[in-house]
Structure 1
Amino acid sequence: MAPSVRQFGACLRCVRQSAGANASLSGAPRRFLSSTPVTREEMQSQPSTPPPPSPPPAATPAAPAEAETAAKETPEYMQKWGNLDPEQVEWKRDERRLVRREGIQPVGSRRRRAVLHRSALNGAEQVPFEQLPYQCFQEARKVLLEDRQEKMKEIETMTLRINNLQAQGPAVSGSILAKEARLRSMRNHLNELILLADINDPMVKKRFEDGEGDMNKPIYRYLADQKWRKYKRLILEQRITQLNIVPDLLPALNPIADVDLGFGRKNVSPGEFVDSAISEKMPRLTVQTFQPGEKLVTVVVVDADVPVPEKDSFTYRCHFIASNILISPMQTSIPLQRIEQEDRKTKDTAARKIALPWTVPWAHKGAPYHRLAVFVLDQNEAKALNVVDIRKTKRDDFILRSFIDKHKLNPIGFSLFRTQWDDSMAGVMERAGLKDEIKVEFKRKRIEPLPHKRRTERMR
């Protein structure tokens, strides 16, 4: 048994049983802690006995041809990997192979998949998760069900109170402001009751851990928000403080959306150094919001470390601006490359989304690293911006504060990466039309020591 499942391979009763008389008399198969495939989660109302197997479909002449075509499309070395079940792969190598060959992510945690795999090897009985024959588990579910019924009654009562208050005139509540304050307080309490009704349900937690939660439901948005704030947001706040994004670019920044940045197949963590050959192409973004409804956002990429040798200081440069991009809790991807292709086909310039095309990040030889900040800005009241006016924005000396104030934007998401001179930077700059900048090299100015600290020939 693998080390990851050694402690959780079987229940305590089965561990205590020996392979002697008790096991031989009982003849019962060894029961593992969890032996339920994710695809059987919806069998709550069905009996535990499995349905009779359906007869195999009749073979058709087209079936062998389709199998041969699929086998030809898959390389031979990938076929040698064998069958990879997304619910039972337990090794990192098999997980990478599954994503590479099938394009499917593994389901659930690695520990649970390992238990399912071991139980399948031992021929354990497949029992749905909600029907696990553990007395404590079933009794706890009864308590949770009673609590949920109480919360549902409170939700109905609160909904009725809100409807009655909306139908009343403002004079009954005292004033319009007092009525709005009461409605806001009652709606907040209603949202809290909706979360409390499902937050202790084991099926809800299981679906969320398996990545099958519906983000249109408040409970899954809440769980995803809490998970993001406990780890990824803390790292993001640390990078914002360490790399002085505040106050260099903005006076304050409070991200409320999870932004995942990547280039091609490479995922980039906040503040990571990215090779210039990789960042030459347009990045890909995934923005997960935790609030209901659709939003129109603007994506801005700013270089915060453009050197100005004449003034011995730094300035800003805008590398990319795209506006009027629709996102929602279910629609998280921002395919910038596909948006660029659609803009090329659109003849109406006002209907395009990319205002300033992608400019490759570059740095001089010997200069400090450059911070490339990626901001996701929420457009006020989901109103579309005029891309023609934004196209007039100058790339050099770009001030993000002024841009946000001018267009009434609100930063909700943030990520960043860093770039510096590397072996492929010269080729990237040449392809970008920056041949004159390749020869520029920054060197540290030598500071002469004070006279009394100079070493004379006699001291040498």
Structure 2
Amino acid sequence: MASVKPSIRQLNACLKCVRQTSSLNGTPRRFLSASAAAREELQTQPTTAPPPPQSATKPAAAITDEKPAKETPEYMQKWGELDPEKVDWKRDERRLVRRDGTQPVGSRRRRAILHRSSANKAEEIAFEELPYQCFQEARKFLMGDRQEKLNDIQTQSLRIKNLMDQDPAVSGGPKAKETRLRSMRDYLNELVILADINDPIVKKKFEDGQGDMNKPIYRYLADQKWRKYKRLVLEQRISQFNIVPDLLASIDPVADVDLGFGRKDIAPGDYVDSATSEQMPRLTVQTFVPGEKLVTVVVVDADVPVPEKDSFTNRCHFIASNIAISPSQTSIPLIRIGHDDRKTEDPAARKIALPWEAPWAHKGAPYHRLAIFVLEQKDAKALNIAEVEKTKRLNHNLKGFVDKYKLKPIGASLFRTRWDESMPGVMERAGLKDQVDVEFKRKKIEPLPHKRRTERMR
């Protein structure tokens, strides 16, 4: 088998060409008087990352909270019909995204060939029947390697079955038997992935966004793609904005959380207008482990000023529990959940414990960090909503909340808010009319006596 791995890598390189043709610890305490808004703006301006490529695992039907589509302007109608599988000009690609909100499918070279073939009315050839000798020879070799993996899967499955029927005393006790079974199942899952990972049809479907997330190979490919870009950006933002340890002691994201308001996607750490964030966001949570989970969504503001103590505290803006997600069920339609809760007469059947409170900030105060956490409920057991409703909004302790209900953080995102022109209206509608005229101003700090003369001489 030592000689098979280099050959597979070489053949994959050939197939790729053909496919194109078709402060954790020690973080200093933050003081309100020492939080200069201008300085923080300057430090955080260069952190905006370029938008990542569209995830191949994000279903188009996941957005359920969107507003009705606006009428297409007349000048956009003149662009004609744009097929996502056949646009081959950059201009048409931009128009497709701008007008229809749809990303082109596959590579530009592949789309160009499909466009020319349809224009010339050429006969369509299935991807696996492309008449390229190198391609077909490579497929034969990979099919032979796949058959070897399928034989290994059959053998491993038989071994697991025999071990399950075996007396635990022969295996060294129940614990030793369970440990061995766990190891054998992990190896079986690895073989299942290796059997399909070199299949060009699988890779084509994944790149075209047609992968079935109920299958292990597509979950594995989606997980690897997420970890190479989006997870790194999220970890950088969590560290940069001190979400850990200000709100949680630690977090190891294992689920892809996409945040948006209306039709606008929000990258971690972006500013959101107060008028936009007045409505509940939409969340898409992509998990990469099979099975259904029950999760709790919590939104916390980590920068509520406390002037009398020259410090900050936390405020909980939203809590919803007992929400089911799975690799194929990724959407968390909070607006629809809110509508269903208002129609439900049984309090125990509701999911929203603390309704959405619009984020707000005082004039002159530093920006507010609002973190969204997706917390997995232990053993998929439902929480008592009546008990969760007793959670205090102000001085919210997220660490204590997680420990009390035995929750596990699996994903997160964040955005920022600050004073803007629409903030007074948002505060009035939220019942905070007395806070509209409150303005924070910086006090000039007088120098010490021995420094006054030196400063006058400068």
TM-score (norm 2): 0.81
Query: What residue identity is the alignment partner of 2:136?
Result: Q
Residue 64 of structure 1 corresponds to which residue in structure 2? none
Residues 213-250 of structure 1: CA deviation (Å, up to 9, x unaligned): 00000000000000000000000010111111111111
Equivalent of 1:128 in 115, 126, 133: 126
1:386 positional shift: 0.7
- Partners of 1:431 and 1:404 lie apart in 2 by 31
Residue 170 of structure 2 corresponds to which residue in structure 1? 172
Residue 117 of structure 1 corresponds to which residue in structure 2? 115
Q: Alignment partner of 2:265: what SS?
A: strand
What's the Cα RMSD here?
2.3
- Partners of 2:96 and 2:388 lie apart in 1 by 43
Residue 14 of structure 1 corresponds to which residue in structure 2? none
- More displaced stretch, 371-380 vs 116-125: 116-125
Residue 397 of structure 1 corresponds to which residue in structure 2? 395
Residue 345 of structure 1 corresponds to which residue in structure 2? 343
Query: What residue identity is the alignment partner of 2:211?
Result: G
- More displaced stretch, 140-149 vs 433-442: 433-442
The answer on 1:34 being equivalent to 2:32 is: no
**Conserved 8 A contact 2:223-2:288:** yes
Equivalent of 2:257 in 259, 282, 287: 259
Equivalent of 1:230 in 228, 231, 238: 228
Residue 288 of structure 1 corresponds to which residue in structure 2? 286
1:430 positional shift: 1.5
Query: What residue identity is the alignment partner of 1:378?
Result: E
1:380 positional shift: 0.6
**Conserved 8 A contact 1:32-1:115:** no
**Conserved 8 A contact 1:296-1:327:** yes
**Conserved 8 A contact 1:263-1:283:** yes
- Partners of 2:366 and 2:163 lie apart in 1 by 61
Mind listing any 5+ residue stretches in structure 2 that lack a counterpart?
1-17, 23-70
**Conserved 8 A contact 1:33-1:115:** no
Equivalent of 1:421 in 401, 419, 422: 419
- Partners of 1:239 and 1:104 lie apart in 2 by 28
Residues 139-190 of structure 1: CA deviation (Å, up to 9, x unaligned): 0100000011111011000000000100011101011111011101100110
1:33 positional shift: 6.3
Equivalent of 1:85 in 62, 83, 86: 83
Residues 79-104 of structure 1: CA deviation (Å, up to 9, x unaligned): 42212212112356544654676675
TM-score (norm 1): 0.81
Change beyond 3 A, Cα 1:273–1:93: farther
Change beyond 3 A, Cα 1:423–1:154: same
Residue 410 of structure 1 corresponds to which residue in structure 2? 408
- Partners of 2:88 and 2:304 lie apart in 1 by 47
The answer on 1:447 being equivalent to 2:445 is: yes
Q: Alignment partner of 2:137: what SS?
A: helix
- More displaced stretch, 161-170 vs 107-116: 107-116
Query: What residue identity is the alignment partner of 2:237?
Result: R
Change beyond 3 A, Cα 1:33–1:239: closer
1:249-398 correspondence to structure 2 within 5 Å = 249-398=247-396
- Partners of 1:319 and 1:74 lie apart in 2 by 36
**Conserved 8 A contact 2:213-2:327:** yes
- Partners of 1:426 and 1:407 lie apart in 2 by 36
Query: What residue identity is the alignment partner of 2:239?
Result: T
Residue 37 of structure 2 corresponds to which residue in structure 1? none
1:416 positional shift: 0.4
Change beyond 3 A, Cα 1:131–1:449: same
- Partners of 1:404 and 1:90 lie apart in 2 by 50
- Partners of 1:417 and 1:256 lie apart in 2 by 20
Change beyond 3 A, Cα 1:111–1:441: farther
**Conserved 8 A contact 2:168-2:177:** yes
Residue 193 of structure 1 corresponds to which residue in structure 2? 191
Residues 371-429 of structure 1: CA deviation (Å, up to 9, x unaligned): 10000000111111111111111100000011011111100010000111112111211
**Conserved 8 A contact 1:34-1:129:** no
Change beyond 3 A, Cα 1:119–1:411: same
Structure number with greater CO (CA < 8 Å, separation at least 6) is 2
How many residue pairs were aligned? 393
Q: Alignment partner of 1:173: what SS?
A: coil
1:125 positional shift: 5.1
The answer on 1:218 being equivalent to 2:216 is: yes
Change beyond 3 A, Cα 1:33–1:451: closer
Change beyond 3 A, Cα 1:239–1:162: same
Q: Alignment partner of 1:239: what SS?
A: helix
Q: Percent of counterpart pairs with the same letter?
A: 76
**Conserved 8 A contact 2:157-2:188:** yes
- Partners of 1:252 and 1:305 lie apart in 2 by 19
1:120 positional shift: 4.0
- Partners of 2:20 and 2:285 lie apart in 1 by 36
Change beyond 3 A, Cα 1:351–1:91: farther
**Conserved 8 A contact 1:34-1:116:** no
- Partners of 1:33 and 1:391 lie apart in 2 by 54
Residues 187-208 of structure 1: CA deviation (Å, up to 9, x unaligned): 0110010000000000000000
Q: Alignment partner of 1:423: what SS?
A: coil
Q: Alignment partner of 1:162: what SS?
A: helix
Query: What residue identity is the alignment partner of 1:247?
Result: P
Equivalent of 1:243 in 241, 265, 279: 241
- Partners of 1:392 and 1:306 lie apart in 2 by 20
Equivalent of 1:159 in 157, 160, 164: 157
